[in-house]
Amino acid sequence: MLETLATALPHFRNTNSGQFFLMAGPCVIEGEDMALRIAEQVRTICDRLQIPFIFKGSYRKANRSRLDSFTGIGDETALRILQKVGREIGVPTVTDIHESDEAALAAEYVDVLQIPAFLCRQTDLLVAAAQTGKVVNVKKGQFLSGESMRFAVDKVQQSGNPHVILTDRGNSFGYSDLVVDFRNLPTMRAFGVPVVMDVTHSLQQPNQSSGVTGGQPQLIETIAKAAIAVGADGLFIETHPTPATALSDGANMLQLDRLQTLLEKLTRVRDAVR
């Protein structure tokens, strides 16, 4: 599966290492210096551990609880930063889109277009993303089973694009919390596409009374280990030098200086289950 994905991603490093791949970066692009610094640090770690790396950063956050929540520094400004990260650091990049007319714009700057979980059933959005020819990463809706994501794969592939990734980010069971059902990973992998576990978003505690999403970052290692153990092809981890000062989703992000130790543990888990 990774070999097929690699054909669509320039600079996709170490694809024959037998390792999982990593999508990692800040929740949202806050500025050029920070994006470049995070990307460089993560790439250095991933090169050392032979983990293929895709830099993640949202150019705009559309799904916010409160009207006064931070949404971005400007669409084209953030997209140009993503493009610069890809060129200067030499890694593929991924960002999420929310409307059909955003697909072509974002595709000019990044290598992977991500469909947010709440929008994974939006046919026009999936088709527009597919028609760019970019890799399409579809996040499984919190309200869907793994089996249901077969139709998202069909929409992309039947639109002429074979390059699909599916990402799980937990399911909603009750109020203000998510639960990970690890059965979803092998179920979705059976569709013949790479499957990713979104470690940090699956630990969100959304819809808090304050209007600011909470999280359980102390469980990041637990969720990541379990995902690798059941055969996830990749992991999605949002990371930031100081999550407490991050402008979005700081409550569930991994502190950047803890990433290397986590990845070292996860490579040992991968070696044990291969």
CATH number for 238: 3.20.20.70
Asked whether residue 2 carries a pLDDT value surpassing 60, the answer given is: yes
Distance CA 103, CA 106 (A): 5
Q: Residue 274 falls within a domain, yes or no?
A: no
Higher-pLDDT residue of 12 and 240 is 240
Q: Residue 222 falls within a domain, yes or no?
A: yes
User: What average pLDDT does this structure show over 35-41?
Assistant: 98
Q: Residue 9 falls within a domain, yes or no?
A: yes
> How much is the pLDDT for 71?
65
Asked whether residue 153 carries a pLDDT value surpassing 60, the answer given is: yes
Tokens of 57: 């950063």
Q: Residue 24 falls within a domain, yes or no?
A: yes
CA 125 to each of CA 102, 115, 118, 138: distance values in angstroms, whole numbers, following the listed order: 9, 8, 12, 11
179 is in which domain, residue-wise?
2-269
Q: Residue 219 falls within a domain, yes or no?
A: yes
Read off the amino acid at residue 175: Y
